[in-house]
Copies of this chain bind each other. A is one copy, B any other.
Amino acid sequence: MQDLIHQHILPPLNNDTLSALTDGAELGQLDGQVVFTTDSFVVSPLRFPGGDIGRLAVCGTVNDLAMMAARPIALSLGMIIEEGLPLAMLDEVLDSIASAAAQAEVQIVTGDTKVIERRVGIADQTAAQTESESLPGSEENGLIINTAGIGLREVEIAPTTENIEPGDVIVINGHIAEHGLAVMSVRQGLEFTSTLRSDAAPLNSLIAATLAAGLCPKFLRDPTRGGLAGTLVDIAEATGQTIEVDEEAIPVSATARHAAELLGLDPLTVANEGKCVLVVAAEEVSPLLDCLRAHPLGRNSVAIGRVTEPATASVELITKAGGRRLLRRPYGEELPRIC
């Protein structure tokens, strides 16, 4: 364990606070409104086009803070490693954690690592039964990551659903469903969708740019598990308002649409990682889109819907054909475990 920490974990994460190896990290005095969050990651396979569990673990917690309009100050890293996980894989994940943390301009200041006995996963059992050694993902179980994060909120008023009212506009910062479809494609062995890449990215600089421009999103949410549909239903139910979204306006790439068809999934319910739903007052839409589009992670930002009356606590999709259908919160098989 001493070797693991000193030779594999500390070097890539390289910072004095972590390297002190004390029971906790000294962060000094924090000036501002403190926000605290945590998330665990159990994705399989551990690596996929556009990212891996390490990048997910950093971006997920950074984005939870960003959605609270908070600047990430410090992250913790809890790793549960199964015996038998190749050290090369661990090193790769740690490099990825370091790289995502650098991109988000935040440090891993405290951590904990546990090594547990190797257990036979469902995928391994299936592989054994079919005498296949190459079931996608089966060889890559064995690592669970938890990250917790501390952030400082930079604006007076926290973005919450309570701010939302009729007339507000729903904006998204780019193409949906890329993360979930990239992971599911690898898992199902759909090689020809290999141009699909996870969109996992730290969104804090994008949110900071909108706040720095004096824009005040009323609400922010990263549409991860449950996808865009899940997030919109959450908002409608929390506010009691009606949300109307235009199918035609929702950005879905041709590759993603194709992969979703093959996998039998609705892009609206597939998990995103580097996306953000912003609810803004109508008069802020134009400057907000200008601001988002000037950022590498917001180039394809677009308004996709609005809060309308009368209030029905539901989400209506205006289809490309001009029809209307209610969006529901996905459940069961629509929710593969991918983040």
Question: What is the chain B residue whose CB lies nearest that of A150?
Answer: B36
Number of copies: 2
Question: Is A29 part of the contact surface with B, judged by Cβ < 8 Å?
Answer: yes
Task: Check if A122 sits within 8 Å of B117, measured CB to CB.
Answer: yes
Task: Check if B80 sits within 8 Å of A24, measured CB to CB.
Answer: no
- Report whether over half of chain A's contact residues are helix, strand or loop; otherwise say mixed: strand
CB distance from A221 to the nearest CB of B (A): 7
Question: Interface residue tally of chain A, by bracket?
Answer: 35 or more
CB distance from A289 to the nearest CB of B (A): 23
Question: Is A45 part of the contact surface with B, judged by Cβ < 8 Å?
Answer: no
Once A24-B65, A68-B24 are accepted as A-B contacts, the answer to whether A36 and B144 lie under 8 Å apart by CB is no
Most buried by B among A80, A112, A146: A146
Task: Check if A24 sits within 8 Å of B35, measured CB to CB.
Answer: yes
Task: Check if A110 sits within 8 Å of B36, measured CB to CB.
Answer: yes
Question: Is A34 part of the contact surface with B, judged by Cβ < 8 Å?
Answer: yes
Instruction: Rank and list the top 8 A-B pairs by shortest CB-CB distance, nearest first.
Output: A24-B37, A148-B148, A38-B76, A146-B146, A23-B64, A27-B34, A23-B67, A40-B78
List, sorted by A's number, 26 A–B pairs whose CB atoms are closer than 8 Å: A23-B63, A23-B67, A23-B221, A24-B37, A24-B68, A24-B70, A25-B36, A26-B33, A26-B35, A26-B68, A26-B153, A27-B35, A28-B33, A29-B31, A34-B34, A36-B74, A36-B148, A38-B148, A40-B78, A40-B146, A112-B146, A114-B337, A117-B337, A119-B122, A144-B144, A150-B150
**A residues in contact (CB < 8 Å) with B:** 22-40, 42, 63-65, 67-68, 70, 74, 76-80, 109-112, 114, 116-122, 125, 144, 146, 148-151, 153, 158, 160, 221-222, 337
